[in-house]
Chains A and B, each alone.
Chain A
């Protein structure tokens, strides 16, 4: 039973397309995150939602729009994809106030823009 599941696992698409990545967690956590890991393997936060409310919005192009229909789901929609968007995108969840228990990460979505 996967705790944080992301789909798709791999995504290859052409520049200019619009794509979505979905994330679901069954841990009962109240907070979900999107992280981007670039080609240099550096992990950087993009967004965070707590109980469907946006609480972190780092400097990310407007082409990226997160949506959280409920606290168990956090999706990421990307418009007008660019070559530089190629990266691994990780979804994660945690319980706010219990960070010492760690985040649980999904297995990642490897996005390649050609």
Chain B
């Protein structure tokens, strides 16, 4: 079983819609959680960290459920520029802060 699991999609969503992605992680000792975004043929970039109380950054809301070992990302009022692969990322070892990536969820926003 992969340490971080995501639905690979693809998700094809009309512009303006709300879309949600989920992710589960297997290591209950995991410490830190993130969503990264990767555009086609580009490097991954940090979208947002995920905090226990949930957090929002503009149209993006991230939630963490430690009991269920589950992370989510909600995108409201989706824009064409949101088309990308969204990577769920976990740090399980606080000593070396190794990022463990999920396989990513591919999102395409349709005009």
Contacts and interface: CB of A to CB of B under 8 A. Distances in A.
Contacts, number: 52
B103 A41 contact: yes
A43 B101 contact: yes
A94 B85 CA distance: 22
A61 interface: no
Interface in B38-56: 42-46, 49
Nearest to A42: B103
Interface residues of B, number: 21
B96 to A, nearest CB: 5
Residue among B34, B45, B85, B96 with max Cβ neighbours from chain A (10 Å): B96
Which secondary structure dominates chain B's binding surface?
Answer: strand
Given A43-B87, A56-B96, A103 B46 contact: yes
Contact of B43 (A33, A97, A105): A105
Most buried by B among A33, A40, A48, A102: A102
Contacts of A101: 46
A59 to B, nearest CB: 13
A25 interface: no
B103 A45 contact: no
10 contacts: A31-B97, A42-B104, A43-B101, A45-B99, A55-B95, A56-B96, A97-B97, A100-B32, A103-B99, A107-B42
Interface of B: 32, 34, 36, 42-46, 49, 85, 87, 91, 95-101, 103-104
